[in-house]
Amino acid sequence: MSQDLPLRAGDSIGHMPAYGTAHLLALALLVLLGALLVLWARRAQPERVDRALRVSGWVLLVNSLFWTAWGFMPWAWNLDESLPLHYSDALRFLVPIALITQARGAVVICWFWGLTLNLQSVLTPDVNYFVWVPLEFTQYWVAHGAGVMAPLVLCWGLGYRPTWRGYGVAYAATVLWAAIAAAGNALTGANYGYLNRAPAGPSILDLLGPWPQYLLVEALLIAAVWALMTLPWVLIDRRAGTPLSGRGGLTRRRQLASRAT
């Protein structure tokens, strides 16, 4: 008669299936919340919006510190997941920085990462649970949901627009983080950034060919998609004469009529 072996720290205790009930509910909530937050940011008093974003940023920053530390605890440690080397791990900290300071570098990286790399994790999640399902489910969607909400609010709510220089900075940051993750993978044998293989479950990477081909295709695709995410704003801002915002020329900021009143 077979006997189940006891679970060890780092063993998966479950998986969230893509497009199951929990995933679909999370997607519906994100769509609703995104629309409401953009409307609120456009219509509320600018001082109230900025204050609310700062408070939200500090809450997210504290939560990110907690969650990063949690991954190093003995009961949660997993070499393949606990090191903060995924793009979403970096975004956990870039989003709070963007909300608290509205630093232009953080804003443009959140714009590009949040609505592409992060969005892949929203649309095709690869979620394994290791300790406590409710906490890990919530943390996953708080991080990835904030990665979508922040650029929506900053761009369509507050009027920040990416420039070509911001595009270049964001792409350089992406390459730099890939190099950091690749070094971590080489030292640990893990798969941070999915640089060594595609996720086990279905993902957009499955459409880009086998490893390592999909890395090159992904790099070219990101460059093209991000260019399409930049060009319309550049043309609109050139026509409207929107001024550069902040040092470095990474963004322009259009004063939206609803915020100017």
pLDDT tens-place string over residues 18-50: 899 999 999 999 999 999 999 999 999 999 999
- Cα 27 off chain centre by: 15
Scanning the structure block, which residue is given the tokens 């929203």?
122
Tens of pLDDT, residues 168-193: 999 999 999 999 999 999 999 999 99
Beta carbons of 108 and 69 less than 8 angstroms apart? no
Share of the chain above pLDDT 70, in %: 93
- The C-alpha atoms of residue 226 and residue 116 are separated, in whole angstroms, by 8
What is the pLDDT at residue 206? 85
In a domain, residue 235? The reply is yes
11: pLDDT confidence band, cut at 50, 70 and 90? low
> Number of H helices and number of E strands within the chain?
9, 5
Locate 85 and state its tokens: 């080397």
In a domain, residue 231? The reply is yes
Tens of pLDDT, residues 51-106: 999 999 999 999 999 999 999 999 999 898 899 999 999 999 999 999 999 999 99
In a domain, residue 10? The reply is no
- Evaluate the CA torsion angle 82, 31, 60, 85 in order and state its sign: positive
Q: Which residues of 2-12 are buried (b: 16+ CB within 10 A; e: fewer)?
A: eeeeeeeebee
Q: Residue 221: CB partners within 8 Å, gap ≥ 6?
A: 208
Rounded to two decimals, the pTM is 0.91
In a domain, residue 13? The reply is no
As for how many domains the chain has, the answer is 1
In a domain, residue 191? The reply is yes
In a domain, residue 202? The reply is yes
111: pLDDT confidence band, cut at 50, 70 and 90? very high
What is the pLDDT at residue 95? 98
Phi-psi region of 242 (alpha: psi -120 to 50; beta: other; left: phi over 0): beta
In a domain, residue 186? The reply is yes
In a domain, residue 2? The reply is no
What is the pLDDT at residue 52? 98
Domain with 95 in it: 19-260
Q: Which residues of 75-110 are buried (b: 16+ CB within 10 A; e: fewer)?
A: ebbbeebbbbbbbbbbbbbbbbbbbbebbbbbbbbb
Closest alpha carbon to 185 in 80, 91, 69: 80
